[in-house]
Structure 1
């Protein structure tokens, strides 16, 4: 009994030790974040430095380091899950070329150049060079995402391109981990490992698409019907962690699974509710994660090898910048955007710690190289947020200095119509309104569409219409109305929600890309939701009924009735015959 009592007491003491360690980490992270904020630096910089201070190489104030690092991984999971919820396939399609082509090209060039450089100088073997190149090719999704959010650039075209490349890098981590053991074997084993990893990734992608289409929406609807915030949050967390663990079991990265889980929810009407519930947990565990990165940093090793590590940091960041910028320009992005993307991807990612550990365990890199990689990675993670913030502000000032005067004084607009998206519908609306002398402001991020706006000498703001900064500059509180013609639901939803937060009584007309979205957009606060196919049917019906002699006032009343009922009594196949009108000319014709 005594031994049992001692054992229980030891367990309780160990549990309390972990709780105390967590409190220490979070409190120190708070202090570091406040200090960084006071110095006008990103808070995550303070989180990392807090980890250095209390880590094993610092004051050694944390005893349960492994347990704290394990819990910190939950922060990465929630961070990428939130990214998936905010992401959308529509946005991915807009940056799909640079995400896939640019991401693969950037990784290939980085790996190839690194392997050639280290083998040509005789520093490492070609296979070790490939491993090192793979480590350097990855950038930090967590750091870049946090930096973009803090500088308000997440929804910008450069931010979306950056995130697209980062997602491709994260998807490649599973393949890299599967192939890494084969690097110490023959080329035949390498091909087999790569093929197996591709099959797993393809199978998981097909399963994720099916689950996202037929499984997730009914599950979220069921949870929402319980009318319990706690049950909804628990259900979402279980979904996120469950998919993350499943992908890890497959040999792919758990982080990729968390992101895919978020994407499954992105186009569901409960996406905003999910994000609102998860964000507080994400921020707390995210701070824990960045502090855990700081715990890996050994200041004594860095000081002992300061010249070498400083040179490696400079070489890595400049080298990656010189690779990313031409790749970004190759896909048609402007120089300012290319520079911003290059700065955002110039650091080494947190997954590189995992790859470096695996490479050391397989004997592909030495302990000394591993410590150099850890030190270099940590420094780049510290420098990158500051660099991205500084370059972002510099480019914004430069861009503002080169803008037309009409854009600099956009806040002076009154009684203007804001058009979000300059596709075909946006162009038609702008042309009609401009012909009647109406004041217009167009929000568009596509360089091709902006070129058309310039040719027609219309006033515009370049940027994503879902961005807080763009919507602020559009002076929505003084606008007459707003028209949203963005093609994907996630962007429409975010634009609508933020516009109403800035101007709650603003009349907002939304063009729904699919008829299933009409009721959801009304619930989100849209004044009027139109659907192009239904409107085409109503326009055709109006013309035909006019030809049949039906009074124009009666036609307008009937069409208004259909629109007021959200097209519920109208289907695409029965658009004309469901109109409850008996034209007088029909009887005479017969």
Structure 2
């Protein structure tokens, strides 16, 4: 193992052990504490950690596992009842916030409409990992405003696909909406369907077979394969890896093996 990489991880964990409890004591939450720890040790702070690529990959894996755990803890039936909020409230939030920010950026900074649209709608999106972790820490995922927040975050993650297609559309004059924009949307929908079918007709029977062997190592490997496979599938079509892990968590939330998988992950 790279000794420098291991040293960076030890430094980050040491800073987190000191800073995060202070933030929790002041009721600011753990996430801001981790952010401050990273800023203090990173190039913007004392510069103890310079190799950001390794740490970024390590952090993204942590976010993937976090969103998987949160997905497992959410009731899928209750989430399905929220489909009106996802499509209605989520769409309104993205369109209204993105539209207002687009106009504001264009008028204040004099940027072209193309750049203003991309920047405005990019800024309209939130950090799913940050918000869901905050709601989970405060036991608010199922609260009156926690459910609408989750629905908006899900729609925002889905909105990434057309935004990425829009980037390519604006970069290439001969790029056609019919040939690429809707293709990206179709790929994203197809991956979702494949994950759902695989979870229902393949995953649950497979988990039942593996449970009979009684090998925790095999079960752990299967759980990690599920999380990383779903995350990589979403990354392939332009969606976020954490969203893939979140959906995978939702699909096994009603499984009789959910607690065992959570323990392994």
Shorter-normalised TM-score: what interval?
A: over 0.9
* CA distance in structure 2 between the aligned counterparts of 1:111 and 1:67, rounded to whole angstroms: 32
Over the aligned positions, Cα root-mean-square deviation in angstroms equals: 1.9
Give 1:212's aligned residue.
199
Contact 1:36/1:42 (<8 A) preserved: yes
Contact 1:115/1:132 (<8 A) preserved: yes
Q: Secondary structure at the match of 2:21?
A: helix
Out of 74, 77, 80, the position equivalent to 2:67 is: 80
Q: C-alpha deviations, 1:217-264, integer Å up to 9, x for none?
A: 012212322223333122101111022112222333222221222122
Corresponding position: 1:272 with 2:259: yes
* CA distance in structure 1 between the aligned counterparts of 2:152 and 2:103, rounded to whole angstroms: 23
Contact 2:223/2:264 (<8 A) preserved: no
Q: C-alpha deviations, 1:71-118, integer Å up to 9, x for none?
A: 110011111211221223311233221111111111011121122222
Corresponding position: 1:111 with 2:98: yes
Structure 1: which 5+ residue stretches go unaligned?
1-11, 279-590
Give 1:51's aligned residue.
38
The alpha-carbon deviation at position 268 of structure 1 amounts to: 1.2
Decide which moves more: 248-257 or 67-76: 248-257
Contact 2:191/2:233 (<8 A) preserved: no
Q: Secondary structure at the match of 1:266?
A: coil
The alpha-carbon deviation at position 138 of structure 1 amounts to: 0.6
Corresponding position: 1:257 with 2:229: no
Larger Rg: 1
Q: C-alpha deviations, 1:281-338, integer Å up to 9, x for none?
A: xxxxxxxxxxxxxxxxxxxxxxxxxxxxxxxxxxxxxxxxxxxxxxxxxxxxxxxxxx
Give 1:24's aligned residue.
11
Q: C-alpha deviations, 1:27-54, integer Å up to 9, x for none?
A: 1111110221232321221111111110
Contact 2:73/2:253 (<8 A) preserved: yes
Give 1:338's aligned residue.
none
Higher helix proportion, which one? 2
Out of 137, 156, 180, the position equivalent to 1:193 is: 180
Out of 126, 135, 142, the position equivalent to 1:148 is: 135
* CA distance in structure 1 between the aligned counterparts of 2:109 and 2:48, rounded to whole angstroms: 41
Structure 2: which 5+ residue stretches go unaligned?
none
Give 2:150's aligned residue.
163
Give 1:97's aligned residue.
84
Corresponding position: 1:133 with 2:120: yes
Q: Secondary structure at the match of 1:41?
A: coil
Number of matched residues? 265
Corresponding position: 1:225 with 2:212: yes
Q: C-alpha deviations, 1:470-515, integer Å up to 9, x for none?
A: xxxxxxxxxxxxxxxxxxxxxxxxxxxxxxxxxxxxxxxxxxxxxx
Contact 1:179/1:193 (<8 A) preserved: no
The alpha-carbon deviation at position 146 of structure 1 amounts to: 1.5
TM-score (norm 2): 0.92
* CA distance in structure 2 between the aligned counterparts of 1:45 and 1:244, rounded to whole angstroms: 25
